[in-house]
Amino acid sequence: MNAFRKLSISVVMLVIITSALLLNIQTNSSSAEAETLQATPELKWYRGNMHTHSLWSDGDDYLEMIGAWYKERNYDFLVYTDHNVLSNTERWIDVIKNKGGQKAFDKLKARFGEKWVEERTVKGKHEVRLKRYDEVVALLAEKDKYLLIQGEEISDSFGKKPIHMNTTNIQEAIPPMKGKSFVETMQNNVNAVQAQRERTGKPILIHLNHPNFHYAITAEQLMRVRGENFFEVYNGHPSVKNRGDERHASTERIWDIILTKRISELNMPVMYGLATDDGHEYHDIPSGSKKSEPGRGWVMVLSKKLETESLIHSLEAGRFYASSGVTLEKISQSNKGIEIKINAEKGIKYTIEFIGTKKGYDATSSPMLDKNGKEMSVTRKYSNELGMVLKKTEETEASYQFQGDEFYVRAKITSTKLHANPSFDGEVEQAWIQPALGPGAPDQKIK
């Protein structure tokens, strides 16, 4: 072999080695941007409900009975969110004249015994003391097994329409802050929560509840609220109209409008979708979609610990999915796309839909009109290019590869399994994956 050949072989080798190194670096960098949500020895999925009512407001059962209900049904955490009140004071109520009445009282005694229940008679009235949050924590919470979190449903309004916002890990009650418009009212409540968060140093999460309850909140309003990055895409109360109707956008449609506009025009963070129960009624379950009962919608949060701060940290990083029954084994998001693996049940079929909006979509919109052609103050009408189904499959393990022009892509999984306690007749189990920013999103948005 002559010197020239030796040299050229060396050059070729060098090129091969360099390319291999470069390739390796590229692989490493793309995997560094990928995030896989999957249980490991360090990380676990925690199941929780973030919307719960009790006798402290308009629910029909005692805090400890509700806490025990969730604990016995494989929930890891529960947030108590009564309307405009925290369960941290001394409060006595009439044993009979309350939403739960004698039935709830008898069940309470049967479950926790005479010793636990405090009763008194005042001016001939038989009263029972409502246990405080801290007492219920001492009774039911267990380290690494079951966590109870203090919350409040800040129940505000504008005009005659409800604006309800839930807080998780609130430290002091926040009264409805009011405002001169829907947006300002939501913003004032978010600001109050942020101020408390800064003052106390405790993470507090705020989310917009049931936007379609009385069709109060539109996509255009909600998208503009700064610091409001969570909303209920699914709420198990039978009268909150998640699915909308011919003149009202569904909560999923609202989600897609908000995501598209926030990413493409408003330069705001993505909105995350939660599933919650909003339970008020806890007796004779299941009622078959007649009442607002527990066990319908929840979040699965991937976290290091079953601790409030850790869970909120994961929620704020988007490390969770929402479910009304479907369980997932793995969700991967990277700059290449999304992968999903369903924890499939035998005999059940699943459909995965990858949904998103691409650059250059038809961005025109028009107001919704009523029967008489009059403009309605509801979410506007947009083209079908907003929130399009980009891929649909019946595999239980599927991936979506970015094409290069997506603002975002999210996924919805629908099973053929009927919900055990549906919020409407014929409801099947579903899951909602949080949105991933696509390559079409403006640069400053890709982290």
Contact residues: Zn ion, CB under 5 A: 153, 164, 209, 278
Question: Contact 173/212 with Cβ under 8 angstroms?
Answer: no
Residue 119 CA from chain centroid, whole number = 38
Beta-sheet strand order (sheet of 397-401): 35-38, 328-333, 337-342, 397-401
HSE value, Cβ hemisphere, 13 Å, CA-based, for 155: 14
351: exposed, middle or buried (Cβ count in 10 Å: 0-12, 13-18, 19+): middle
Closer residue to Zn ion in complex, CB, 153/220: 153
C-alpha distance from residue 433 to each of 13, 385, 412 (Å): 46, 20, 6
- Amino acid letter, residue 400: Y
State the nearest-atom distance from the C-beta of 134 to Zn ion, in Å: 22
State which residue, 60 or 278, has the beta carbon closest to Zn ion.
278
Pairing assessment for the beta strands 125-130 and 119-122 based on DSSP bridges: antiparallel
Residue nearest to Zn ion (CB): 164
Nearest approach, Cβ of residue 445 and Zn ion (Å)? 31
Query: Cβ 187 to Zn ion, closest distance in Å?
Result: 18
CB of 101 to Zn ion, least distance (A): 21
* CB of 182 or CB of 402, closer to Zn ion: 182
Closest CB 437 distance from Zn ion, rounded Å: 30
Residue 167 beta carbon to Zn ion: minimum distance, rounded to whole angstroms: 12
Measured from the CB atom, the residue of 274 and 340 that comes closer to Zn ion is 274
Q: Which DSSP string corresponds to 188-220?
A: HHHHHHHHHHHHH----EEEE--TTGGG---HH
| Vertex 81 angle, CA 78 and 84, to 5° | 165
Residue 164 vs 391, nearer CB to Zn ion: 164
Distances (CA, A) of 415 to 304, 393, 402, 426, 442: 29, 12, 25, 12, 34
Specify the residue, 209 or 229, whose C-beta has the smaller distance to Zn ion: 209
